[in-house]
Amino acid sequence: MTTLATPPSATGPDRLLDRALASPLRGIAEKVQAGRRLSPEDGATLFRTPDVHAVCAMADLVRRRMHGDRAYYNVNRHINYSNVCALSCKFCAFFRKEGEDGAYEMSLDQIRAEAAKAAEGGATELHIVGGLHPRLPFDYYTSMLRTIRETAPQIHIKAFTAVEIVHLARITRRWKDRAEGIRAVLQDLKDAGLGSLPGGGAEVFDDRVHDEAYRGKIRSDEWLDVHRVAHELGLNTNATMLYGHIEQHGDRLHHLELLRTQQDRTLRDWAAAQGIADQADGAVVLSGPAASYPRERLPMPGAAGLRTGYFQTIIPLPFFPDDSELERLPGPSGLENLRTLAVARLMLDNFPHVKAFWIMQTLPMAQVMLQNGADDLDGTVVWYDITKLGGSSTHQEVSVGDLRRAIREAGLEPIERDTLYRPVMRDGRAWRI
């Protein structure tokens, strides 16, 4: 039996990993142990095998290598500034057309009040997204950011999906030269106070699924371009994957592959400065045994040799069918959620973090995921309009105590982080990095 280079875990998955080493998954388990990149064929095997526990054990090994016994949460607030959207994505139950019952847009005064409440509650982050509003001018978005900056100067603003960024480039007629248009919009938003981009709007990078379920939305190349330019401007970003609707496992793997390839390019110089060896095809793998990382294993803002932003976290989002045009579909099962998160951890070997977004996974399920590849639960959230658990209101809040307890019960140490995953020192509502 091979000995692991990592300390044994309180969660006891080593026994399960041994099982993977002795099973048809042996070839994959050996690669994971050695820190070699998994191929799309390996990913397909991980989705196919009945031995979900072995998949999860390998994901847990990787998580422990990257984060030891730490797991993260943050104190944040989400603002969905408008649900009016020019698009009509079939999976979405959030959007309304202008003038339709329930359509809204928040005024700058409402935004200011939300920012003040967030600051009073000790939040370190505002997560802001909305629909593609056909009439709000660009000035609304920059004023929103400046208003928040004035009201709550310490709070990090993570705002606007790549889809909104492209919309803003279009309404300001800066879309002719795509990369330059994106850059100009992002630079204006950054000047007004934008701190990072959330991972939304990616859905699943596949043209067939795109045309059937979210026609009219930006495609994968545009989504990836926005994030690439954001990284060039020094902004960190996240990535999501919406699964469990009309896509197939192969589509999920293709999605993960595109993210992984882009992150390789982004991290190449930093990895060289860290003495991290390139693998075949320039792969930068961050999930190997400790000996592969003579200096830092994970990128952090301001690190030596890091001149750009990067993808911080992947957030697998399980499809919620309720009230959407795809309501006939069942949505993914609990086991599928667990497996997809574990596969994302294993395939995205160059993404520092994997988030189990408790709002969509439920807190009990997100807690289980902490032992199966996830290292982050997201935050206190407070209001969330995009998806609601059967019949619940948009008020969806957990306390810091709930999040910390969930992490402790999973055998891990809860660490409050800011948006960029720096540990937060807190004294009540006051905090510093």
Interface region with ligand V47, contact rule CB under 6 A, candidates 31-39, 178-186, 194-202, 265-273: 194-202
Residue 203 sits in the site that holds ligand V47 (CB under 6 A): yes
Pairing of strands 395-397, 381-383: antiparallel
Decide if residue 320 touches ligand V47 (CB under 6 A): yes
378 binds ligand V47 (CB under 6 A): yes
Residues numbered 145 to 164 that lie near ligand V47 (CB under 6 A) are 161
Would you count residue 380 as binding ligand V47 (CB under 6 A)? no
Which residue in the set 47, 91, 205, 270 belongs to the binding site for ligand V47 (CB under 6 A)?
Answer: 91
| Smallest distance, ligand V47 to C-beta of residue 370, A | 16
From the list 56, 93, 344, 403, which residue makes contact with ligand V47 (rule: CB under 6 A)? Answer: 93
Contact residue for ligand V47 among 200, 316, 373, 414 (CB under 6 A): 200
- The binder of ligand V47 chosen from 13, 193, 201, 352 (CB under 6 A): 201
CB-based contacts of 211, cutoff 8 Å, min separation 6: none
Do 72 and 415 meet the contact criterion of CB atoms below 8 Å apart?
yes
Q: Give min distance, CB of 158 to ligand V47, in A.
A: 7
Report in angstroms how near the CB of residue 137 gets to ligand V47 at its nearest. Answer: 23
- Residue closer to ligand V47 by CB (options 33, 324) is 324
The verdict on 346 binding ligand V47 (CB under 6 A) reads no
Nearest position to ligand V47, beta carbon: 200
Binding region for ligand V47 (CB under 6 A) out of 20-28, 164-172, 312-320, 365-373: 312-320
Least Å distance, CB 303 to ligand V47, is: 21
Which C-beta is closer to ligand V47: that of 204 or that of 306?
A: 204
- Among 319, 351, 358, 421, indicate the residue that binds ligand V47 (CB under 6 A): 319
Nearer to ligand V47, 11 or 419 (CB): 419
- Residue with smaller CB distance to ligand V47, 240 or 340: 240
| Contacts with ligand V47, residue ranges (CB under 6 A) | 91-94, 161, 198-201, 203, 238, 240, 242, 315, 317, 319-320, 324, 357, 360, 378, 386-387
